[in-house]
Amino acid sequence: MSVPDLAAIPGQPGLDDAYSPLPGCYDEMRTADGEVRPHWQYVLDALRTLGPAGIDARWREAARMVRDNGVTYNLNADAQGMSRPWELDLLPLLIRSEEWAELERGLTQRADLLNHILLDLYGPRQLIRDGFLPAELIDASSHYLLACHGIELAGNRPLIHYAADLTRTLDGSWRIIGDRTQSPLGFGYALENRVVLSRVLPSMFRDSHVHRLAGFFRSLRRTLARLAPRRYEHARIVVLTPGPANEAYFEHAYLANYLGFTLVRGGDLSVRDGALWLRTLGRLERIDAVLRRVDDSRCDPLELREDSLLGVPGLVQAVRAGNLVVANALGSSILEHPALPAFLPKVCQELLGEELLIPDIPTWWCGDTASLGQVLERFDQVVIKPLHRGSGPRCLVPATLEAPERAALITAIKANPAGYIAQEHICPSTAPALIGRCLEPRSSVLRTFLSAEEDGYTVMPGGLGRVTPTANAALDSNQLGGLAKDVWIVASEPERQESLMVSAETMSPAVTQESEVSSRVADNLFWIGRYAERAEGLVRLLRIAIFKLSERGDYPEPIGDSCCLRSLLEALTNQTQSFPGFVGAGADERLNNPVPEMLSLIADSKRLGGLPQTLEALGQAAYSVRDRLSADTWRIVSDIEGHLGRLTKDPPNQLSLALDELDPLITSLVAFSALTQENMTHNEGWHFLEIGRRLERASATASLLRSTLVPIAGEPDEHMVIDAVLGVTDSLITYRRRYRAGTRVGALLDLVYQDEGNPRALAYQLVQLERLVSELPRGDLSMGRTTVEKLVLKALTGIRLAEIDTLVQPDKTGKRRAELAAILAGLDQQSAAISDAITAQYFRHEEQPHSLLRRSAARSDS
């Protein structure tokens, strides 16, 4: 069925009626005469059919998916910091399949050329000997890593994956404007763009016959496994990330999940006996290949940058020994040298015997006398770039400089010509961007991605498009700012669907290899459990306190005379450790006017122990291990962050308004708990998350009972206290069904303290802890109980042996239950001791002296 052209309907404005290509630029959608290019017509017609309301709905759906999936890119200068969302344009960038085939040939040629150059520069250096590359250009660069010279690489493929930034000149021909060779960024974002648009615009995607991306990622995974020392199914591959503070951490975790690799940081790894090992719980796991997201000079503080905290001491030696493959090879950033394009045409002729199929922007290195003369002759037509960037601008346009600045620049270039390059000034091509409800031309850059194969390179059939958010803005090719675009290679026939799942081409048995849990990951999962439970417990306590405060109404007596409300407020302070609060100096004044203190605990992001800080800590811990969390779980994390943002950005000035946010927040926290329980594999990582949850719930329950049940009040007040405790522990229904003789402290303790079948009881937490810790790795301890097991058993035994009738008895003063206070204080200390013992046994790893070289004695890899 054909799509009606709504632009032809009277009174119906066309989506692109006001769209006009910018002068002097090639436009992707329209010709210079204003005609729509044929391969864009269907997409434009489909958007017109959607209409403004349909486009708005699709845009909101795309934004929701980006938010729920936690897609972020953290520009260093952005005030949003780690939470800056990825900005995706709803309109894809379209390229004809026939044109893409020509582009593929040029890109594979360039990748092959750069791979040859890299082999030569860290091998015979024949290009320098024969004068094709100046020695001072290479050797003076901080990106040339002398420690990596002479290392033999498996398959002669130091450049395993590669990205190139392209734009078009006015005549429509493609030009390379940047090479990304050390750890190319963006192909994870390209995949996420595709996932979002294919779901938001399914009919448009299907009918455009867009080429699929899965084959590219399968090729990358196959290549890393093939080049690894223990090839194919036995290879263990990790993604090395700088950590959550990196601007592209989302992509690191996303790729690790999609490719089935383990996400690690430098501290998770260790080089021993000439090989790389992952520190897991109680053992070491051999690593065969590293897909690194860390700058090559920072990968090894022993032989490269000694101030780096991101790498692994001895990593270069592991590569040198042939026991490890790193993608891309250490030192590959030399290929990103800004002056290299000036020499590529001749180098290509020398190494490949052919012309460059996709040329660079004309580039001159001023260190060459002839090139310097050409630059000075055409000074107003070039852009000047210093090779050694300081605090000054990265790019200078002589035509825009005042006479004194122009003269100073010429003087600087003549004084140090080898420190500058010049490039021809070009106007980048433009692509349509959906701004509001209209299409507008924006300067654009296309980033393409390649992966090595046995006989060459494969190109991702798509890529990452970027356009400027405003008409006059400039795109920095070094960062993925601006608006992102999915890139559709459109064909005339449907594309065969592909999957990253391994096909059953042989009858070989399945190989079970689960992603190992490092000490760092276990530590973060442990604290995710604690922070999630701490936040949930605090919200439950806050809600009950607000309810009781509202029930009190306008009673004239001070809160100090109300045992129930006073106990709940004191429990708030004790549970959050936000002293002095309702128990320290000035407590009486705050008890008589509790609202400001309660609002501070609810919404003040600077309040130690308050709800915002707990939720923020939960988010940071979850972000650190986001590769371990499912998409559904991460959506709940995003919901929790949304609640946190609403609480802190517009703090409520009334408890009733705060309650409007606390009610849905408790739902999100419970959903998080349920998803980690039901959707997360119960492996070692889950055990630590669950241990953290059970330990925190035990500690919070003990604190709550100490604050509420140890003081003895009159019978009416005690009934209210017990009712409040049952509300906080979500045990009210069970209590009413089980105990029919009224409200009694002994019955409450039976249910909330000693009942091993009540998920909110102290005894239940210790029973679960006993089971969980018994299933943890035991390390070198083959017999007997670990320290953690002994502490848990001691705490559980104390609960089981306690006599409820004794605990409820008042002391000699008749105002306190001293036995109950003592046993709950002991439980609090035991909980802290269990936490410390877990940390000491599993999360702290003192480095022992070891050899970086493989000893002659045989050693198992397992």
pLDDT of residue 70: 86
- Considering the domain boundaries, does residue 574 fall inside one? yes
Asked if residue 316 lies in contact with residue 147, where contact means CB atoms within 8 angstroms, the answer is yes
Are 160 and 282 found together in one domain?
yes
pLDDT of residue 494: 64
pLDDT of residue 781: 57
The total number of structural domains in the chain stands at 4
Are 581 and 651 found together in one domain?
yes
Q: Which residues contact 827 (CB under 8 A, 6 or more apart)?
A: 698, 702, 762, 795, 798, 799
pLDDT of residue 851: 44
Are 416 and 453 found together in one domain?
no
- Considering the domain boundaries, does residue 499 fall inside one? no
pLDDT of residue 506: 41
Are 648 and 686 found together in one domain?
no
Beta-bridge mates of residue 450: 162, 459
What is the four-CA torsion angle of 94, 100, 106, 111, rounded to 10 degrees? 70
pTM: 0.88
**Spatial separation of the C-alpha atoms in residues 811 and 829, rounded to whole Å:** 22
Are 198 and 328 found together in one domain?
yes
Is cis: bond before 580, omega within 30 of 0?
Answer: yes
- Considering the domain boundaries, does residue 228 fall inside one? yes
Give the angle 226-232-237 at the CA atoms, nearest 5°: 85
- Considering the domain boundaries, does residue 67 fall inside one? no
Asked if residue 441 lies in contact with residue 40, where contact means CB atoms within 8 angstroms, the answer is no
Tokens of 473: 């803005």
Are 700 and 784 found together in one domain?
yes
Q: What is the separation, in whole angstroms, between the first and last Cα of the chain?
A: 60
CA 434 to chain centre: 27
Are 130 and 261 found together in one domain?
yes
What is the four-CA torsion angle of 45, 49, 53, 54, rounded to 10 degrees? -90
| Residue 750 domain boundaries | 682-846
Low-confidence residues of the chain, pLDDT below 50?
Answer: 1-12, 77, 79, 503-512, 556, 846-852, 854-862
**Spatial separation of the C-alpha atoms in residues 543 and 160, rounded to whole Å:** 56
Please report, for residues 142, 251, 855, the alpha-carbon distance to residue 297 in angstroms, rounded to integers and kept in the order given: 9, 21, 27
- Considering the domain boundaries, does residue 57 fall inside one? no
Which CATH number do you get for residue 387? 3.30.1490.270
Are 132 and 276 found together in one domain?
yes
Please write down the long-range contacts of 26-29, taking CB distance under 8 Å and 24 or more positions apart: 26/168, 26/169, 26/170, 26/171, 26/172, 26/429, 26/430, 27/429, 27/430, 27/431, 27/432, 27/441, 28/93, 28/94, 28/168, 28/429, 28/430, 28/431, 28/432, 28/444, 29/431, 29/432, 29/439
Strand 363-365 to 382-386 pairing: unpaired
Are 754 and 627 found together in one domain?
no
3-class secondary structure for 442-483? EEEEEEEEEEEECCEEEECCCCEEEECCCCCCCCCCCCCCCE
Which of 670, 675, 679, 619 lies closest to 647 in space, CA to CA? 619
Are 383 and 328 found together in one domain?
no
Are 332 and 375 found together in one domain?
no
Query: At what angle are helices 631-649 and 41-68 packed, to 10 degrees?
Result: 70
- Considering the domain boundaries, does residue 70 fall inside one? no
Residues 769-789: b if buried by 16+ CB within 10 A, e if exposed: bbebbeebbbeeeeeeebbbb
Last residue of a domain, one of 437, 455, 490: 490
- Considering the domain boundaries, does residue 754 fall inside one? yes
Coil, strand or helix at 751: helix
For residue 45, what is the DSSP state?
H
User: Please, what sign has the CA dihedral across residues 600, 602, 605, 608?
Assistant: positive
**Spatial separation of the C-alpha atoms in residues 147 and 316, rounded to whole Å:** 8
Are 479 and 599 found together in one domain?
no
Last residue of a domain, one of 628, 655, 679: 679
Which of 772, 756, 252 lies closest to 525 in space, CA to CA? 772
- Considering the domain boundaries, does residue 294 fall inside one? yes
Tokens of 347: 């180098």
